[in-house]
Structure formats: C-alpha cells, structure tokens
Amino acid sequence: ELKNRATLTIGVVLAAILLGSIFFTSGAYERFLDKRLFQDPVVYREQTPYQKLTMTAWRGKDYRLYINGNIQFSSVDEYRYHEALVHVPMSLVPNVRKVLILGGGDGLVVKQLREHYKEVEEIVMVDLDPRMTELAKSHPTLRRINGGAMDDERLEVVNDDAMNYVMDTKKRFDVIIIDLPDPNNESLSKLYSVEFYRLIRNRLQDNGVMVTQSSAVYFAPNSFWSIHRTIEAAFCPDEKGCAGEDQHVVPYHTWIPSFGDWGFNLASKQPLEPAKWKLEVPDAKYVDTDGLVAMLHFPRDVGEREVKINRLIEPVLLTYYITTSTTGTSTINEQDPGGVRWATNAVVAHRTRLSRCLEQRARGARMSSITRTLGTMLPDGNPVEKIDAIMERVDAEAYIKALPGNVLYQLIKEAGWDQGVDLVPFASPEQIQLFIDFDAWRRDALVPVRMTPWLAALVEDARDKDFQRAMREIDGEVLAMLFSSQLEVMEMDEGRIPDHAPDRAVTSPDGVYAIVYPEDESLAALMRKLIDRLYELDRVLAWTLLEAVRWELPTEMEEFALRWRTSRLEEFGFVSRDEAMSVYTPLFPDKLRERIEKEDAAQVRVRAPGETLDLPSVMSSEMEEDALIIRVLMRIPDEERRLARFFELSALINKVMLADGIEPGELNSGRQVMRRALGYMGLGLEFVTRGQQNQQDEILERVSLKDIFRAGYTLTAQLQRQVQQLERRPTLTLIEGLPYSLLGEDDAALLEGLSRQRPTYAEDAYTHMIFEHQHQLDDAAMRLGMIAFKQLWVFGLLRLQVADLIARATDDSLLNDPIDVTFDTLFRTWVARLLIDKQDGVQALDREEVGALLVALRDKEWEKSSLREHFSGAFEALGPFLPGGTDLLFERWFAQALEVLVDELGQLKMASDATFAQQVVLLRG
C-alpha cells in the first residue's frame, strides 16, 4: 500500500503539467444554464478554443455580447464606452495615419474610426480569437451594431496574442488603443504589466499616444490605480512616477449604464497637458469638451491610492482584481464590497451544473473503492475542464469529498469563483474549514467577511443534512466572530423591539431577539438566510451564535480560533513566522561544499510521510519537472525515501512562504515564492556539486533541503551585498530619485532585481527571472565586476568628482539629457577623442569634432593591428594605475565602445546627422 500511495502521491505533484482537453456539454443543460445566467433570451452561443461567446437580445432592442459570462457591450450604450476610448486619444495626435487596436474583436472600436477618422490610412487589429473577428464580420446582428466596420479596406486583422504581436512587429503607430478583457487571470494580467507597456511605448511614434481600458474605477479602485502606476513606470523616466510637472500618463473615467463607472489610462512619450485638451468630434453622441472635464475629475472616494506596479515577475494586479474593494479592504470580489452578492449570483447562475450533479448522485450514491484510492488524482485539462469532468462523474459528490482539502481549494481558486463555486456545496465540513483557514485569515487576524462566499454557497445549495453538519463542525468561534462582526443582537422587551434599538432592527424567527442586520444589502441578505436556515434545522446552534454576539469578547474568540487554526495548519508544515524565518539564515555555500567534501555531513533525516503528501495549496500545479531539485528528487530509486523527501520539500516551501509573509491561501503570491524557492535550491545544489550531475543524487541524500536552500539564497545575498557596496562608492546616479542613472538600462535592471528583498535576476531590461542556475550567478557577478571597474575608471583613474559630473550633465550647452550621461557615454566620448587625436578627456564633442570622428570611424585604422598596439598610448598611460587583472576588463570595454560607435555613427555622412546620438556620446551645440 505504501508503494502505491507513494506512486499516486507523486502523481498528484506532477499531474498539473499534463495537458488535456476533455470538455463535456449538454444542449439542454446549456439552455437551462443560459436562462439562469442571462436575464434576456440567448440568440447565439459558441464555445471557441479560447472562450465562450454568448449573445442575448431584449425585444430586438438591446443586444448584449458576453465572453465567458462577462458582459462586453450593450448595443444601447456601447457608444459611451467606445467614444471615450477612441476619441480622447485620437483628438491629441494631429494627422493620425496608423492605428493599432489590441483586442476589440467585436469591431466597435473600428466603427468609431471608420465613422469619424477618414484620414487614417492603416488600422491593425490584433485579437486572439479568430471566431470573434469572423463573427464581427459575418454575423448579421454584430454587423448591424458595428456598422460593417470589419469590411473597412484599411483594416488588417491579426489573430495572435497581443504580447507576441508587439514583441515581433517593427511597425510604429500614431495611436494604440488597448481594448482587452479585465485582468482576471494570469494570462491577461501579463497584458497589464510594466514590461508589456514598455513594449507598447516602443511601438509608438514619438508624438503618439496609447490608451487602455482600466477596469471599474469605483468597484475596483486598487486595480485601476495599479494599472495607472504600471503605465507610469513604463512611460516616465523615473519608475516611481513622473517628476515635476511632466505628466506622461493621464487617467480618466466615465459612466456607462451597462458597466458602471469605467476607467481609462492614456499615455504618451511626450508630456501631456490635459488642462488644454479640446474634444470636438462632429456627430459624436456622447463626448465633448465639457464632458471631458468631468472625465478627468476623480472624486475623493476613488482618488489615487498607494498600490504596487504590476510586473511579470510580481503580478500584483491579479490579486488586486480579485481581492480589493472600494474601501481598500480585502474581499472576495471588488465588484461587491461584501463579497456576497457576486458569490450568491454565481451560485444561482450555475445551478444547472449542481442539478446535473444531483441527478448523477442518484445513480451513484455508493462511493467506490477506486474513488477512495484515487481521490487525490484530478482529471486532465485546465481547471474549468477539470471541474466539468468531476461534475460529470457518477460518484461526483464522493469524489469531491475524497479530495485533499488543499487540492480542492487550489482547484476552486484557479478555476475562478464563478466556476469553482459549484464544488463547494458538496465539500465535507473538514474541507470547508480548511477553505476558511486558508482564505479568511490575514496573518493572525480573522477577516470574517472573507468567509461569506463559502457560506453563501452552502446556504444556497447544500442539502439540509450537509448544511447542518458543516455549520456544526466549523469552528464555533469563527462562526461567532462572523455573526458578531455583522449583527447587533438584543433581547426583546416584553415581546417588543427595545426603544433604543435602531429603526432597522427586526425580530428573530422565534421572537426572542431583536436583530440589527448590516447596512450592506448583500451581507444582510446572507445573514438573514443563515439565521433562517439555522432556525429551521438547528435552533440550538442559532441561539448559541446569537448569544455569542451578546456576550462573548471578540478578542477571546479570535485567540481560540487562531489556536485551532494553527493546530490544523501544522499538519501541512506551517509553523510560526519566527521559526519560518530560520530558512533565510545565511549558510555560506563554499563552507557547505567544503564540509561535504570532507564527508562531515551526516545523512539527512526527514520526517516520515503522512497519509497524503500535504503540499502547499500552490505547490502541485507549479512544481514542474524541469526544476533541477525536482529532477533530482524524482531520481531517488526507493519510493518510500523519495516520498519522504517530497514531504520535506513540502514543509520547507510552507516555511518559505510564511517567512515571506504569504498566507496559506494566497495562490498568486505563493506561486512566485515557490518558484523562487525552487530556483534557490537548484542554484545551491549546482554550486555545491560544481554542476556535476553524478554528485547531485549523492549530495541530496546526505544534506537537508533546507541547507541546500540556504546555500542558494546566500549566493544571491552575496551579490546583493556587492550592489550595496557599489551604491556606497561615490555614486551610481546623477539624478535624484533615479538610483542607477549612470548605468545602461540592462545593468540598471540587474541592480534593481538584486536589490529586492529576495534577489532576482535580470538578463536584460526586459527579461526578469528567478535565480536557478549557476550561469545566471556568474553572469551577474561578471556584470557587477564590470560596473565596479566603470566606477573605478570615472572616479579613480579620471579623478572626476560627482559635483563635476552633475555640472556637465546639466550644462545648457550639452545636447544630451542628464539621463543620457552614463559611464558608457562618458567612456565612448573618451574613446572618440582618442580617435580624433585629442587627449582632453570626456569633454562633449562639437560639430567639427563629430565630423572628424565620422571620418575616423569609416577608416577603422585600429583594425590594422590589435587594440593595445593601435591605442598603445592610452594603454601605457593607464596601465600602471589599473588594479591587477583589470586590464582585460579595460580592453573589453574599449572594444565594446568601438563597436557601438561604428554601429551607431559609422554610416553617417554629415556631422549634423549625429544630432540624435545623445545616448552614444556627449554632444554640445
């Protein structure tokens, strides 16, 4: 049995990397679901390889398009959204010739361009789903709504991923309009990242503008302002925002009846002056200059707030989108401050799937031994397909209850609440308790409102006996804290509501209590349903909870609840934060390697595995086979030993997540932490074994995974200390607020990544990744050494002072901007002066000197001999002052400088052509 359990458990770990495409549908059930999900009759539906398209109609007047159940437009008011999206950016650019649309496959953006901007010569639309763009072109209703815009001769349709297109295309556009779905999954979140917006910036003409829809302003303010901050980081010289009066990013918003208060962000390479904007579009239905003034104003309750930048390596936007509310508190969905309305509606909307499961249960109430054995195995496919396959099973309920609670929780979260909620009514009380343990706590504090979606699913659809059992077995303190946080309870005064009670107080079902429900209608509705159903099924429990509201101290209840939660989570390897922080205690890898080579390392002892391999809730879908540490663990021949090491890995990952402040249920942040942890372990293992595969298996049998992790992390921490030393030397910047202005963008990205609390690696300015290989470490160390040498050359060999460099960078006669004054431009200027036989250092070149430089670059006299021979004077003059071994760095830098000069300036004919070479050498007028 142990051998079989080990095999199955390892299968759980690796199952998430299998690809599958099993999707079951039923026409009758689809139609029933449509009736519950959509208020109006469905006139068209199609499941494409990318999404589900649904169109509804109300009396032939209001046609609405839904993608995956989310409304995309209403034909009654779509013009408000699309006029705000299109006319604002188009009015800012004179003589627009080329427009890029990302998304917008319904053709409504093109409709605005077709009707109002005849001067546009080229329109490129990039939309992932070819069926969407085909329907927009061929479906009679869509053609009528978009005015046949897809037939426009200027339009080129590209069915591709937006990120891929902007990475691959060489075209530049006057206006880029981004009309993508909200960032409700990781794939879409990347299209709202600073890396993506930097690509967009590169695809703009110098005076071009871009605009993007940016989600609901009122219901999702954190998401909206995170998008705003992210675009600022891409378009402003300083990632912290645009300094001074220069405004490169302008937010605006407008009211759309179908959507609510919807936001947009507009950006340009050039400073923007919204106070001077005029919006005069003949025949526009909605927008004008007066309306634009209102669009640009943000009331206090939706004003700018402190939020993080969304990055590929740190996708915070997805977390904001899922968990922020208008008050900034953490809830299940930002479109519903209580998190209940959304959850309850999703339960109702997907009642079809639940009823289907009830029918299957009648045919297979007896759980088979196979289900018990394979309870931890999930079907193939993406999360939604997995849920569909589960709900189609004859033994669906038994199968759900057999799943480990953390696996079920992860499946629900990854599929999205509107899909995963169907599983909740069939979960066991132990699973429900774990959902609350994972999702409703922040550090050591319970956030009662985060329980409400889970309880809403139970109160709506769980059978009586299942609901009663769950409410009885969930921690009483947790339920009491929910009631206490939402209700005010008083005894009735001789059958009457007490005079001092608020006006909205009502009597309990038995007339014993006066209850004041919360003002939030959704929360109030849920609490009423909970109390009514408890009175119907378990009056004693209802009395107990209402009395707890009157008498129990919330602090004492939370203390007991935390104690029970901590005890349960210890079974998953979660420990106290203080204990977890020990994983980041430095362990110098060379000492560890020396200890191993001296055979002083005792064979590691690991805790025996339990009944199941209790992985962190984020772990099974992220632990890919190509991670070095996973490959080595999978090579352990003894299955019991292999299972034990995976158990050790599980406990270690949990500690790392706790040390980094990640709650057990935070999937998105947890993914990043886990990948980074696996990378650190791979890095440590590569280092101590010197990259020799035949030693990796042996070493891992003798050294704990924690020590391997600590060694890998310490390697990156040593690089971080080198960065700190570089920052303490004269300087790495001439611009306040920009820490690395003297570096090129690739090296600046490297130092930024290494300066993070947990260091990461930047191969270049646009490629950020975790540390996981020795070659990354070597590359980073080499680049840091080169930066140190550049500092030495400027401040040591040339003896320049920081004040002198600042004066040069801000000199009015300098054609370069201060940000163009870098170690590299200074050095290339110095090399340029050597080429024109002048020896006065790094003074900016005038037009005559540039002309002489162009001649020298065309002649390439240095290619007739080695660099050291041709520039012997420079090498001999500096040689005595170069520290040992740095002459090779000097020669390498010299060769790179010549290569850049030739590539950037070598083909120019006249000195005046070099006016725009400010990032190559220093120039003066």
Active site residues: 179
3-state secondary structure 123-183: EEEECCCHHHHHHHHHCHHHHHHHCCHHHCCCEEEECCCHHHHHHHCCCCEEEEEEECCCC
d(CA 631, CA 686): 13
Classify the phi-psi angles of 420: left when phi > 0, otherwise alpha if psi is within -120 to 50, otherwise beta: alpha
Would you call 65 helix, strand, or coil by DSSP? strand
d(CA 885, CA 761): 26
CB 404 within 8 A of CB 376: yes
CB 683 within 8 A of CB 771: yes
Among residues 231, 270, 252, 275, the alpha carbon closest in space to that of 87 is found at 252
Cβ neighbours of residue 323 closer than 8 Å, sequence gap 6 or more: 330, 331, 332, 334
Written as six digits, the tokens of 270 are 């050039």
- Residue 10: Cβ-neighbour burial (10 angstroms; 0-12, 13-18, 19+): middle
The C-alpha torsion from 369 through 372 and 374 to 375, rounded to 10°, is: 150
Angle at 471 between CA 467 and CA 475, to 5 degrees: 155
Give the count of beta carbons closer than 10 Å to the beta carbon of residue 261: 18
Among residues 437, 440, 439, 403, the alpha carbon closest in space to that of 423 is found at 403
d(CA 421, CA 432): 12
Written as six digits, the tokens of 676 are 């980074």
Give the count of beta carbons closer than 10 Å to the beta carbon of residue 29: 15
Q: Is the alpha carbon torsion for 618, 624, 627, 631 positive or negative?
A: positive
CB 343 within 8 A of CB 452: yes
Among all chains, which residue has been given the structure tokens 């003066």? 924
Query: Exposure pattern of 132-157 as b/e (b: 16+ CB <10 Å)?
Result: bbbbbbebebbbebbbbbbebebbeb
Give the count of beta carbons closer than 10 Å to the beta carbon of residue 93: 18
d(CA 858, CA 909): 10
